Amino acid sequence: MVVVFRAEKERETVSSMNDSNPRGLGLSGFMRRLAGFSVALLAACSVTLLPATGLATAASSSPSGSSAASSSSSSTGPYAPLDQPGPPLDVPAAQLSASLACTGGMAGAAHDPVLLVPGTALNPEANYSWNYEIGLTDAGLPWCALTLPGNSMDDITTAGEYVVYAIRAMHALSGRQVDILGYSQGGMVPRWALRFWPDTRPLVRSFVAIDPSNHGTLDAFALCHVVCPPAFWQQATGSQFLTALNSGAETFAGIDYTVIYSRTDEIVFPNLNAEGSSSLHTGNGQTLNIAVQQVCPSDVSEHLLMGTVDPVAFGLAMNALENDRLADPGQLAPSVCSEGLAPDVDPVTFPVNFASELVTIATSIAQAPETSAEPPLPAYVYAS
């Protein structure tokens, strides 16, 4: 087993923003303009892309947002029983190994390592290098970042094999369970690994998903009329892929699922409440479905800001990962609602980093192969 280790990046220490900083309305206004620009660019590139959204039909969670997910949806129909062993991985071992980049100190780590899984049309560099990678390193948490085929534009069932490999490899390297942080498609695809490779479930402890496309997006119907990249077809509400993914159980015992979403998400849509696309309801895992607006009602972060710089999403995610459990909103400082950026995001380089993310998205979409229909599901998805 070979894993690429990423040397810790040297960077200047960024002082935390204080009341004397010119953030306030100036920074907030700038972020809103950037968000608007990002939406315009995505639309121009036919980027109503990512995450899929569909209305969850299960009962909503408890008033606190935290519950043991219902196990009422136990029938898997034509799909594999929940305990059916997963198949051998078809992706060549060399490709799997090259996809995973880790910090040093994995062996003998004092804390569960964190697997970072990027969103559709993104890679770890564009998605995480200027925010969560810095935050995890500052918190003393080891991490690995996973690059998915075609920057997560290819068949998601293949991407699932990469996640299976990453979980197994990180567990073998550290001797510990693995925590997961995923954004958009990256918050959904690890569930494919957990659903169809049962051996990965006891290897995972805390799973944090930010604006995940767990039930698809209605946006895909406006995009995929004739041809689309495979990942777009698969993230459309009601797709065969999502039906298989959510069959039997959405969560599994022993794993804490913190699902963080924004009611103003324009990509994973609709996400207006705990019945929206991102939320999880069935299975035996401990689950927290929480909107950032439940913590800060005035938070209007759209999809891209949620996955990079939103201070509420960042605070909830780090709280869950540092403590290996469900996030506890009550432990966030009240000042989080007045912050313009997550604490480990440099306000000076933020515009450049955010623009670079947009370029990565546009380039990935432009270069992605397209198909005239959703890819067929692999045979292992069905009961044998």
Rounded Cα distance, 224 and 239, in Å: 12
Rounded Cα distance, 210 and 279, in Å: 10
Chain centre distance of CA 327? 15
pTM of this structure: 0.85
User: Are 322 and 112 in contact, with CB atoms under 8 Å apart?
Assistant: no
Q: Is residue 119 part of a domain?
A: yes
Tens of pLDDT along 332-342? 999 999 999 99
Lowest mean pLDDT among 25-29, 131-135, 200-204, 319-323: 25-29
Please count the structural domains in the chain. 1
Q: Is residue 14 part of a domain?
A: no
Q: Is residue 201 part of a domain?
A: yes
Q: What is the extent of the structural domain holding 282?
A: 24-372
Q: Is residue 126 part of a domain?
A: yes
Pick from 71, 81, 137, 73: nearest CA to 109: 137
pLDDT for residue 43: 40
List the CATH number of the domain containing 346: 3.40.50.1820
Q: Is residue 7 part of a domain?
A: no
Q: Is residue 360 part of a domain?
A: yes
Q: Is residue 16 part of a domain?
A: no
Q: Is residue 277 part of a domain?
A: yes
Tokens standing for residue 371: 């198909």
Q: What are phi and psi of 280, to 5 degrees?
A: -115, 145
Tens of pLDDT along 87-99? 999 999 999 999 9
∠ CA 58-280-379 to the nearest 5 degrees?
A: 95
Tens of pLDDT along 293-342? 999 999 999 999 999 999 999 999 999 999 999 999 999 999 999 999 99
Is the pLDDT confidence value at 132 over 80? yes
